[in-house]
Structure 1
Amino acid sequence: MWKSIALAAALAVAGGAHAQTKKELVQKVLQLQQPSLEGMARSLAERPALLMLQQAGQLVQARVAPEKREALAKDLQAEAKKYAEEAVPAARERVVKLAPSTVGALLEEKFSEDELKQVIAWMESPVNRKFQQLMPEMEQSLAQKLGADLAPTLDPKIQRMEQAMRKRFEAAGVPVPAASAPAAKK
């Protein structure tokens, strides 16, 4: 009987140590992923301001006197910056709080302790760091090539869409700004 109690106690201690170790590994992964998670939060927080600036820019071009456009655009950008200065830190704070109960819970559920160790080893490896540093250059290179490659396909479609929208604006009696350059070439 003492042997079974001792064995049960040893298993309970070992199980607790295993779970604690796994939780620590998950915490390490979250710590290593924090810049990426904060980047996602920043993007999510900034998206409404970017969309509003885009829509406002169109309105400014279409409905504001040319001599007032630049000043208004600066004012609108200042408002968007003010919003971002408040929203981004709040989003970062929330992502750090939510990550353990969301991402951390999934990591703990879906990965074994050994797999978590491998993930951490990869994330901390010089090869991964080099790969992550090269990522913006790779994305830019691909985006440039993709834009040039898609231009012949997209330009006619963009022009047709722009003409159709121009006709709808004209039919509604709304002044239409000068035609813009096709988006694929930007």
Structure 2
Amino acid sequence: MLMRTRALLAAPLLVLSLATAHAADSPAAKKALVQKVLQMQQPGIDGIARTLAEQPVAPMMQQVAGLLRTRVPEDKREALSKEIQGDFKKYIDATVPLLRDRAKALAPTTIGAVLEQKFSEDELKQLVTWLESPLARKYQTAFPEFQRSLTEKLVAETRPMVEPNLRELNESITRRLAAHAGAPAAAGASKP
């Protein structure tokens, strides 16, 4: 009877120790799966870095193009345009790697933390399997085309609705700056 009691008491301890051992292995396996997902998603993370670097430059480039057309003599535009494009390229070439490296360093504590919190080990395995599948690769390869197609159509269809708002914003800012500087606001002034 004493042996049977000891066996009954030992059984839950054995189950608990096995569960603890499995739980101890599980976080390491889960972390490895998260790292694999992050590695597979690195092109997207790099894309975020590139977008962040290019985003503030796009409006500057548009503004510079307008200024070149309106304020620079025609015979000097091309040379000055090439110089300024070189400045933009220098900025992009210096900024993209900086943002890309920082995004790569931050991904485990941001994206990785969310993956660990929101996905089970089994779900992460399924996600890795899907990301490695030919269909997922095909989808990821086609995604930039989806984005480009949508962006082109969206810009084309909304430009007539957005441009008046931009003009109004520009005029409002120009008036405010002129009032603050004490100069009269010019109607149809160029972008600030």
Q: Residues 114, 58 of structure 1: CA spacing in aligned structure 2 closer, same or farther, 3 A cutoff?
A: same
The structure number with the bigger radius of gyration is 2
For residue 48 of structure 1, report the CA deviation from its aligned partner: 2.1
Q: Which amino acid aligns with 1:38?
A: D
> SS in structure 1 opposite 2:67?
helix
Partner of residue 67, structure 2: 59
Pairing 1:99–2:113 present: no
Aligned match of 2:39 in 31, 35, 39?
31
1:158-177 matches, within 5 Å, as 158=163, 172=186
Partner of residue 77, structure 1: 85
1:1-186 matches, within 5 Å, as 3=10, 7-143=15-151, 145-146=153-154, 150=157, 154-155=159-160, 158=163, 172=186
Percent identical across equivalent pairs?
42
Range 89-98 or range 5-14, more displaced = 5-14
Range 121-130 or range 65-74, more displaced = 65-74
Unaligned runs of 5+ in 1: 177-186
For residue 68 of structure 1, report the CA deviation from its aligned partner: 1.7
For residue 37 of structure 1, report the CA deviation from its aligned partner: 0.6
* In 2, Cα distance between equivalents of 1:155 and 1:24: 50
> SS in structure 2 opposite 1:99?
helix
Q: Normalising by structure 1, report the TM-score.
A: 0.75
Q: Which amino acid aligns with 2:186?
A: A
> SS in structure 1 opposite 2:97?
helix
* In 1, Cα distance between equivalents of 2:66 and 2:128: 46
* In 2, Cα distance between equivalents of 1:11 and 1:160: 62
* In 2, Cα distance between equivalents of 1:47 and 1:91: 13
Unaligned runs of 5+ in 2: 1-5, 176-184
Q: Normalising by structure 2, report the TM-score.
A: 0.73
* In 2, Cα distance between equivalents of 1:30 and 1:90: 19
* In 2, Cα distance between equivalents of 1:69 and 1:47: 24
For residue 10 of structure 1, report the CA deviation from its aligned partner: 3.4
Residues 114-165 of structure 1: per-residue CA shift (max 9 Å, x gap)? 11111111111111111222223334444555566x27xx548747976997
CA contact (8 A) 1:37 1:95 kept: yes
Aligned residues: 172
Q: Which amino acid aligns with 1:25?
A: L
* In 1, Cα distance between equivalents of 2:112 and 2:165: 48
